[in-house]
Amino acid sequence: MSGLRETAYAKLNLALHVREKLPDNYHRIETLFAFCEDGDEVSAEHSTSLSLRVSGEFAGGLGRSDNLVEKAASALRDACDVAQSAALFLQKRLPVASGLGGGSADGAAALRLLGRLWNLPTPMERLEEIARPLGADVAACVRSQSTRGSGRGDILEPMDIGLAGTPVLLVNPRVELRTADVFARWDGVDRGELEDWREGRNDLEAAAMSMVPQVAAILAWLSAQRGANFVRMSGSGATCFALFDSDSDRDHSAMAVPREWWSLATRLR
């Protein structure tokens, strides 16, 4: 496609503390979002009607009702009271329902992209406002910078944690895990607030492991890798990740990932 492009940066949760279930059936959480340099890609060009084409390795797992790209485009048009349209193209490179915020990142990338294509006066703060009704993680994905999230994950506080450029390896067992299903298996125990993310935890790991035992195997495998200094599951899973001391250590591990697993070697933004 010859139009503008935006990367939908993969989201990681360096910590995810579940505090309680809210009256609207969402859960109050405390999390630290970080973002990778790579992810899906959204392209757009001017058109007389709004349309979307999806391709890529994981395009087949994405239903129309799950796709936030068109919803984001419609929300932006309504919020800015414009009648412009676009032909949108999504290159789906990240696994679906994998804890990487792929759908949320796609929607956020569409907002950034169409704001440029349509020459709209939409600063990041305005795009975050438009993003919030689309889903709990979409607002955090607008800037795609390290951010502390609270509430439903949509009360955001930017944080510079000094990890930009850190080598990271993502590994997924190629099994989808729907967020609502994993939260439904959370044991309901409030284990305390998020203070130091390195001393934190992901409160959904046990629930995810009960549904997809490969999560435990991936965490153990990553923990055994040379130079891996921090290992955790992201979001509701089933993707796990490791931060590495060096690119060479990460690349050495990436070459050894079992063939039945999906993986991505990248860096933090």
Examine the fold and report which residue of 158, 178, 210 is the final residue of a domain before the chain moves on: 158
Examine the fold and report which residue of 136, 158, 180 is the final residue of a domain before the chain moves on: 158
CA distances in angstroms from 32 to 107, 141, 157, 213, 260, listed in the order given: 20, 12, 9, 25, 29
> Quick one: 51 and 119 in the same domain?
yes
Examine the fold and report which residue of 141, 158, 175 is the final residue of a domain before the chain moves on: 158
* Residues identified as active-site: 11, 137
Beta bridge partners of 126: none
Q: How far apart are CA 252 and CA 235, in angstroms?
A: 25
> Quick one: 194 and 216 in the same domain?
yes
Residue type, 204: L
> Quick one: 46 and 134 in the same domain?
yes
What pLDDT was estimated at residue 136? 86
Boundaries of domain holding 102: 4-158
CA distances in angstroms from 235 to 193, 239, 251, listed in the order given: 17, 8, 24
18: domain CATH number is 3.30.230.10
Burial class (CB in 10 A: 0-12, 13-18, 19+), 50: middle
> Quick one: 37 and 124 in the same domain?
yes
Torsion, Cα 60 66 69 71, to 10 degrees, reads 150
> Quick one: 32 and 119 in the same domain?
yes
One digit per residue, pLDDT tens: the chain, 269 residues?
A: 557 999 999 999 999 999 998 888 889 999 999 999 999 999 999 999 999 999 999 998 877 666 899 999 999 999 999 999 999 999 999 999 999 999 999 999 999 999 999 999 999 999 999 999 999 899 999 999 999 999 999 899 999 999 999 999 999 999 999 999 999 999 999 999 999 999 999 999 999 999 999 999 999 999 999 999 999 999 999 999 999 999 999 999 999 999 999 999 999 99
pTM surpassing 0.85?
yes
Structurally, the chain folds into a number of domains equal to 2
> Quick one: 195 and 80 in the same domain?
no
